[in-house]
Amino acid sequence: MPRRLFTTVAVTVAALLTPATAQAATPALNYVALGDSYSAASGVLPSDPGAPLLCLRSSRNYPHVIAAETGASLTDVTCGAAETKHFTTAQYPGVPPQINAVGANTGLITMTIGGNDSGVFINAILACGAAGIVTLGHGSPCKTLYGSSFQDTIRTKTYPALVAALQAVRAKAPQARVAILGYPWIVPETGGCFTKMPIAKGDVPYLRDLQATLNDAVGRAAAATGATYVDMTEASDGHDACKPIGVRWIEPVLQTTNPVVVHPNALGEAKMAAQAIQVLGL
């Protein structure tokens, strides 16, 4: 082969290979997933073999989906029943503070957190369910009994706890992109589905408003700390626990496919991942 032709071919081949080589040399995004059972996908099979047993973490949770879609290098410390305080204190023996997984080289952090703080959300679901059973689904007994107490607790206790948790994360990884996801809708705006979610008809909008208050606190905490809020409000509308299998993202109390009720199923986790990817532009 003439030298000039050989040189041209070599330069052309090198030019074609350079982008691929450069891409291969680019290190994967260092991604740390924090959060509670909505982040851990508690009850969704298969379980994450590397997770502490008590954390009920699934290998199909939205952090795993995000990592698979983006090629990020995932460190997943999500844990069912986690509260904001478990970012900086141990949740169980052998389960260290979640923030320990965050470092200066962390590039992305996601979380769903706040729903377990002060027991407000789970207590509201249990209280409204019990009240609904007593009245056979009629009236609004939960609202009558508890009024604004659940929402007051979110505003006065959960919100500042969220801000403190996000500030702690920011201090540990000041260069990272930090995203906090809102909670997908659990019940519809009105009506409900007493045979699946035993909540009195009049308490369905009451619980919906309670969840809106929680998501508002999450969004405001994100804004106050420079984090990205991944709003699930519009995306999850029409996919609540009252909808049929294949449509719902949240499993109901009765007629459920998930042993951990009132939590996202695999479809819900995949959709949470998709919303986070879209909002973050990953």
Model-level pTM? Answer: 0.90
Q: How far apart are CA 73 and CA 166, in angstroms?
A: 22
Q: How far apart are CA 276 and CA 282, in angstroms?
A: 8
Assigned token pair, 251: 């499993």
Q: How far apart are CA 154 and CA 210, in angstroms?
A: 9
Q: How far apart are CA 242 and CA 261, in angstroms?
A: 12
The CATH superfamily of 27-118+157-191+214-280 is SGNH hydrolase (3.40.50.1110)
What average pLDDT does this structure show over 92-115?
97
Q: What DSSP assignment string belongs to 140-200?
A: -HHHHHHTTHHHHHIIIIIHHHHHHHHHHHHHH-TTSEEEEEPPPPSS-SS---TTTS---
User: So what's the pLDDT on residue 24?
Assistant: 52
Per domain, the residue ranges of the chain are 27-118+157-191+214-280
Enumerate the active-site residues: 37, 263
Q: How far apart are CA 133 and CA 121, in angstroms?
A: 18
- Residue-averaged pLDDT of the chain: 92
pLDDT tens-digit readout, 67-85? 999 999 999 999 999 999 9
pLDDT tens-digit readout, 113-154? 999 999 888 889 889 999 999 999 999 999 999 999 999 999
